[in-house]
Structure formats: C-alpha cells, structure tokens
Amino acid sequence: MTASTDIFHATQDNFETDVLEASFTTPVLVDFWAPWCGPCKTLMPMLDRIVTEAKGTVKLAKVNTDEEMALAGSFGIRSLPTVVLFKDGRPVDGFMGAQPEGAVRALLAKHVGAAPAVAEVEEDFDVDPNSEDLATLIDTLQGEIEAHPEKPELKAELADALLRGGALEEAVALLDQLPAEAQDHDATRRARARLGFIQAVEQAPGDAELQTAIAQDAGNLLARYQLGALFLLAGQYAAGMDQFLTILRTDRKFNDDLGRRALIDAFRLVPDQELVGDYRRRMTSLLF
C-alpha cells in the first residue's frame, strides 16, 4: 500500500467517514478488487499513478472484497474489478473491468478539477464570501474583476454577494455570462445554490403560514422545503437543514430527491464547517 494519504484501504469501519463523508470535500474513487483477480492487478497500479498525479483533487479507496464481502454486497458488486466514483456522499460514475488509462482519465475529468482554482483566487485576493460588509465586499470584487478579467470565478463571487444584497437581476445576469469552465467553481455553485433558495421562496407564503401548513399536515414536503429555504436565507442554518433532513427521511423520491439536493446546496452556504460536518453525517446515515 502506498504511503500517500490520498490512497488507502477502505473497510466497513471507515467507509462512512473516509469515503462517504470525505467525498463532500474531495471525490473518492473506490476500487473493489480481490487478490485472485488478474485484471485487478493490472488496473490498480494505473489508478495509483493517476491519483498520485492528481495531487489531492481525488482520492483512491481500495476495498478487498474477499475481506469486505458485506461492504461489497451493499453496493451490489457482481464483477471485479468494479470502480465507483463517489461525490457529495453518493456514487456518481464508474466502470467494471480493466479500462485503458485514457478512459479512466476521461471519467475523472467529468467530475474533478475546478475547485483548486477557487482556493487560489481566495488566497491571492483575500476575499471573504461570508463578509457581512456587503458594500465593501462588492466594491472589492468589482475592483478585482477589473484588475483580473481572466478570473471569471470572481464574477461568481460578485454574483453571490449581489444575491445577499438583494440585487437579483444583476446577479442572474452575471451568472448567465460565466463561461463554461467557470460553472464548476465553488463560487459558482454557492451562488447558484443561494439563487435556488431565493427563487424557492419568492412566491411562498410567510414563515408563520408555512409553519401552520406543516402543523396541519406534517407530510407537506413542499412547505417544509420553502420553510427550510426561508430559515437558511435568514441565517438560521440548523433550522433550515432540519427541514431538509425531514424531507429526505420522509420521501427520497420527492421532487427528484429534493431533500438531498437541498442539503448539498445548504452545505455550500453554511459558514460553520463543524455544523456542516454534523449534518453531512446525519444525511449520510439516511442515504446508506
């Protein structure tokens, strides 16, 4: 086993923490293999090399199915090797059998890549997206955009700040102008998450009316989503996420898995990472 912290053995004991929860921060490629499997021995060194070269943008978890039969069975593994990519706590892509290196790299390219650029911008320009001084933040971002027009992610930061300040039309126009390569940035995802919650409550009843509707019908999941969005936008993060968890617990299929999707969007907005970690674990326990 390589000494890299990005490549490790996964077991029933550490899978939830090191794969499912970790995939909210960094995508995790899970290689289901066995010692007797010839194609597995061909594929594994290639995966090691690709993940090592990725320098922290993706991790590799190796599951020995001979030792972890229950874990493999929980994911319906029928053929070896089977490789599954986890992101945001769930499987998003994968393949069975040994694949050429180009195919593996193409799969990762669809899901891995833009986040480091955001971190670099935030470090270079010291722009805090959670700053409460919106006027100063907006002025700072506008200046940085003029100085660095090659950084479209700064426009996404500005759009998010404008949304917080109520300038909906201007923010939407900025987001619509972003090039394709900026769509996967954390700043863009955060702004679009906030926009989604704002749009969800535009035509919704007020707080009191929604709470009355839920008291009369606990299964009114649309009211729960709208109330959760109202709480979240008001900075009542735990109260908002509690509503989304209830939706997830009640009906995974409601509005195309809205409970899970709302929680993931909420995680992008909540500044308290300890609170986010708590709700990620609670969400994961409902998903698996």
134 is annotated as an active-site residue: no
> Which residue has better confidence, 174 or 120?
174
Q: Report the distance separating Cα 235 and Cα 69, nearest Å.
A: 44
Supply the pLDDT for residue 226. Answer: 94
Sequence-distant (≥ 6) Cβ neighbours of residue 61 within 8 angstroms: 8, 9, 10, 15, 18, 19, 28, 29, 30, 31
Find the mean pLDDT for residues 80-92. Answer: 91
Helix, strand, or coil here: 78? coil
Burial class (CB in 10 A: 0-12, 13-18, 19+), 92: middle
Enumerate domains of the chain plus CATH numbers: 7-111 (3.40.30.10), 115-196 (1.25.40), 204-287 (1.25.40)
Find the mean pLDDT for residues 137-159. Answer: 89
pLDDT of residue 139 exceeding 60, the answer is yes
Instruction: Report the 3 state secondary structure along 196-243.
Output: HHHHHHCCCCCHHHHHHHHHHCCCCHHHHHHHHHHHHHCCCHHHHHHH
Model confidence band, residue 31 (pLDDT cutoffs 50, 70, 90): very high
Supply the pLDDT for residue 225. Answer: 96
Amino acid, res. 101: E
- Report the share of the chain in percent with pLDDT over 70: 91
Name the nearest CA neighbour of 238 among 269, 267, 275.
275
Q: Report the distance separating Cα 102 and Cα 88, nearest Å.
A: 24
pTM: 0.65
pLDDT digits (tens, 9 = 90+) for 215-260: 999 999 999 999 999 999 988 999 999 999 999 999 989 999 999 9
Report the mean per-residue pLDDT for the chain.
Answer: 86
Choose, from 10, 20, 37, 161, the residue flagged as catalytic. 37
Model confidence band, residue 278 (pLDDT cutoffs 50, 70, 90): confident
What's the helix, strand, coil split of the chain in %, to 5? Answer: 60, 10, 30
Choose, from 29, 40, 43, 264, the residue flagged as catalytic. 40
* DSSP H or E segment with residue 59: strand 59-64
pLDDT of residue 115 exceeding 50, the answer is no
Burial class (CB in 10 A: 0-12, 13-18, 19+), 177: exposed
Model confidence band, residue 149 (pLDDT cutoffs 50, 70, 90): confident
pLDDT digits (tens, 9 = 90+) for 158-177: 999 999 888 899 999 999 99
Model confidence band, residue 5 (pLDDT cutoffs 50, 70, 90): confident
245 is annotated as an active-site residue: no
Supply the pLDDT for residue 263. Answer: 94
* DSSP H or E segment with residue 8: strand 7-9
Return the half-sphere exposure (C-beta side, CA atoms, 13 A cut-off) of residue 264: 18
pLDDT of residue 48 exceeding 90, the answer is yes
**Pair 21, 280: CB distance under 8 Å:** yes
Supply the pLDDT for residue 127. Answer: 53
